[in-house]
Structure 1
Amino acid sequence: MTAKKAGGDLPPGRRALSEALWVLYGHLRVKTLAEAAQLLDASGWKKDPSEISRYRNGRRKPPFSFIERMHELAARRAAPGAALPSLSELRKLHTDAEATLCRNCEVSRQENDRLREENSRLLSRQAPEPRAKADSIPAKSGPPVTLPVPPAAGDRQRDARDVAAAHQLADSALDLHTSGRTGYAVSLLQDSASSLTPLESAAAIALLRGTQDDLAETVIGIHSRSRTSRDVMQIAVELHSFGLPQDAHALLQAALSHPPAAK
């Protein structure tokens, strides 16, 4: 695997993730992207070959669940003794990969770097954040932004990670919006959408709903168009758990008007 295959014009995090995806793709032992799409479809993940190509070449940042599925398929189809990157290595590469390819706006890039570094720090912790910290954004001024309802009880470490990532994304978008850079805020939200889990997506909507309705509705529109049907339904369920049934209804209604890709 070479950096040239990954694309020399990519930012460093995206390039490293792209190179790892090329390694996984090589172990699938298929001749075309269409064959790779058929393998993914058979395992329950429907993706167009062109989208797989964009993920592999670093033009879009895939959700980590896609990388997990690729790793599972590669492990099954690889030659005996083949060396594959571990899931923990892939998780770090995914966390470190830039959320956007914007190369002309230094301000937006700095915000993305700060978001990525903070999220990486939180993901690397072995113990979950105390609930008081996980449920509030340390705002620059004014009272902290809080989620309307804490996530359901369960894997607290997973919840702490997901909620913390949503807080950082919402915080960055709000900072950009309040400083008059709403276009950058929307770009950040749009470019980050494909890498968010349903819980992260719902938490980001809930946080923005409490502070900036226009951005919250923008996120709803982005996810209704870009996420799979399964993801849209899961986001709607999480929105209900946050006490936002109207937003859940708006998401589902928008998805019906612009049907997302079926999974």
Structure 2
Amino acid sequence: MWKWILRKWTGKCELLRITSENPKGAKRTKAIERSLKHSNIAILKQLSKDEIIDVIPASEEVMKIKDVIAEIHPQFAYCFQVCLCQICGYKRLFAEVEEMRKTQYSSENPDHEEKLMQLWGFLMPDIKLETRLSKQWTDIGFQGEDPKTDFRGMGMLGLNQLLYISSKYTALSRQILSKSHHPTLGFSYAIVGINLTSVLYELLKKQTLRTHFYNIKDDKPSLHDFHELYCKYTI
């Protein structure tokens, strides 16, 4: 009833009001998402659920359903497409992150082993790892001789994020590692990094990170964006 009254009063449907009255970013996109989710029209409700959407024809269909005339409201299509892209992109990002988390580290997988060796190389360039199973792993913050046991909770996501920050922000990563060796204020570098991955994963899962990702760019959030957020909180 309230939506009907507002439409009669303003001459605009709820989706049009949202795009015209709210600046771009999380406020607008979350309002669009909420409107689609609670819509009585099946096509619109489905748009809030899908991971993959062809946003241009989808926006054209919505404009037909809602009688939004492009000549009168030329900005609606683009604004709505951006929102759709962000909404479905967030769902796709979580699916990608979840798949990575569920992929358990395997010492029999050469790609996994190579990534682990790369991590050592970035963090300890002047020290040779004597053997694959070694107490030396504790020097970069793992708990024992075999790092794979520390990846059980976050799987390859934990390793990939440690490797991402170590490869892209190598100097800063080495500085943090050096500080982790402080005799009284030290910490386990790798374990803390994996724990941070766990925190960010839970925030992503609970959709708490929508505000951040909807604000950073007019496009779908990517795995790169998720890794950069990890780096932001690490550095």
Q: Fold conserved (TM > 0.5)?
A: no
Higher relative contact order (CA 8 A, sep 6+): 2
- TM-score, length basis structure 2: 0.28
